[in-house]
A and B are shown apart, each in its own frame.
Chain A
């Protein structure tokens, strides 16, 4: 392989002749013009010319380096004569410079001060809250329209959603609640054994499942499963203009898409919770019967004495509200989705996060309220 090199010599009339020899290909490094640059800097010539008669082979590597090199020349007000370059190379350089840089098109990395970042994050939070409250308000109006029989959505869509939010979630709800019941019983048993009060494992599991964990775990499962699905569906419909198509037909996308999802989740969540309660109690019974020498009948009697109807009501009221919150989080994030496939992914992620946060915050508020009214 021929040795490539760049040298320069000074001629008459303030001329700097750049001599290129050998092979310049992308396989190696970009050609090194440092020597010529130093010459330019030390004693700027008036003109610059090339001698490429000894160039054997060249490709984009040489063109790219020449383009940046000539920018330096232009900045130093050195006149460049390209006559000595191979014709193809000359034409590529001209093509690269044919369209002048558009003013204002170049992005410059701007340093954003901390204070400004905090400020804009606060503004975003405020706007986000306003949008959320607006969405909840719209949801209320939409339910009002439904009650008056003015909201339009397809019955078949609604039944499909009921199935998605209900029956199809049963396997995962079964697994998680059984394990949660099991874990509660296990942790409780180790503590209660020290006092010889193993039988109270039944109280612990029963009350925890019925009042808290059934609704909470159900809501978290549904946020991850269904909330994300809602966001992805609505987001994709936004990207593919299906929502625009509804609007130009005069169909309110809110009634058509959000309302049935909200209804389906808030109807199915209490049922799932009730189911989760019993599966969780079964999980607790499994631990008690196999590890603690408590008979199934004894466990059941103890559970029945520990939990009352009001405990079930507390769990079911919560779960209904959680259902609405998860649906609202999913639909809100879906309808805010940007116009790209990456945005759909973000919408789904953000729906899960928002859903879980809303559920936990709501649960805390419920606990305070129920505590205050003594339920």
Chain B
């Protein structure tokens, strides 16, 4: 049991809303250190919004997010900036800064948060890019490389400061099956070698079953979470909506009682 270890992230009673429109309410779950945690659910159900709440790009309408036992939601600006240093975020489209080369993209957070010299920053950036298989592309601009490479470069940037928690928003969306598989392998490899906690927003089942340790399932109709747990085990979950999602709609039985 992992009960004794404090959670890397705890979400408590979280309600997210845009104005009066409630996206999700009453979310409660823990993400354990070193786990690969999946936020899953149908398209447009608020998965990315949940991630944006967890990294402070949106403020919760109610409830709190804790990082390492400390409230992130209620932290002041200085405390928050300190906490931000321990996350890396990869956005859906990569969101690399288009005016900068890959090495400059990876180097910018290093320049911001460390005392390293320009040459040292470059050295670290080269390493991070090599880790995601982009050795030799340091001086390319984001527009000069393929979509899959942009996503990997974005992961390299997210890992620039060796974050304790890596957030990935739809890492395999828009990638061909082989590139998607390579990305999954990369995520597993990074977790194994660095012990990083990884939070992934996705609805790609193949990817979910390959990498996940734990997950939360969001349902847009009831506007809340329906299940927490390992996705492979959730295939037998009591709620037919969860089972249908995880079996691509094949399991349509309503037989079991709601858990």
Contacts and interface: CB of A to CB of B under 8 A. Distances in A.
B137 interface: no
Contacts of A248: 55-57, 84, 87, 89
Given A250-B112, A251-B112, A245 B89 contact: yes
A241 interface: yes
Contact of A241 (B84, B92, B108, B157): B92
Interface residues of B, number: 22
A242 B112 contact: no
A242 B84 contact: no
B84 A245 contact: no
B99 interface: yes
Interface in B71-128: 81, 84-85, 87, 89, 91-93, 95-99, 108-109, 112-113
B84 A250 contact: yes
A240 interface: yes
A241 B55 CA distance: 14
Interface string A243-262: 01111111100000000000
A348 to B, nearest CB: 17
A242 B95 contact: yes
A197 B6 CA distance: 90
B89 A242 contact: no
Contacts of A244: 52, 57, 89, 91, 95
A241 B52 CA distance: 11
B109 A242 contact: no
A157 B99 contact: yes
A108 B157 CA distance: 46
B165 to A, nearest CB: 11
B109 A249 contact: yes
A242 B157 CA distance: 12
Nearest to B167: A248
Contacts of A157: 99
5 contacts: A241-B93, A242-B96, A244-B52, A245-B91, A250-B112
A152 interface: yes
Nearest to A243: B95
A55 B95 CA distance: 56
The residue in B85, B92, B96, B97 that gathers the most chain A C-beta atoms within 10 A of its C-beta is B97
Nearest to A249: B109
Contacts of A242: 95-98
Interface residues of A, number: 16
Contacts of B97: 237, 242, 245-246
Given A240-B98, A242-B98, A245-B96, 9 more contacts: A236-B98, A241-B92, A244-B91, A248-B57, A248-B84, A248-B87, A248-B89, A249-B84, A249-B108
Contacts of B84: 248-250
Residue from A154, A244, A249 having most chain B Cβ neighbours under 10 A:
A249
Contacts of A246: 97
Nearest to B57: A244
B95 A250 contact: no
Given A250-B84, A250-B85, A245 B112 contact: no
A367 to B, nearest CB: 39
Nearest to B93: A240
Nearest to B90: A245
A241 B91 contact: yes
Contacts of B157: 245
B103 to A, nearest CB: 13
Given A248-B55, A248-B57, A250-B81, A241 B112 contact: no
Contacts of A240: 93, 95, 98
List of 6 A-B pairs having minimum Cβ-Cβ separation, nearest first: A241-B95, A241-B91, A250-B84, A250-B81, A245-B95, A248-B89
Contacts of A236: 98
Interface in A144-162: 152, 154, 157
A128 to B, nearest CB: 18
A247 B57 contact: yes
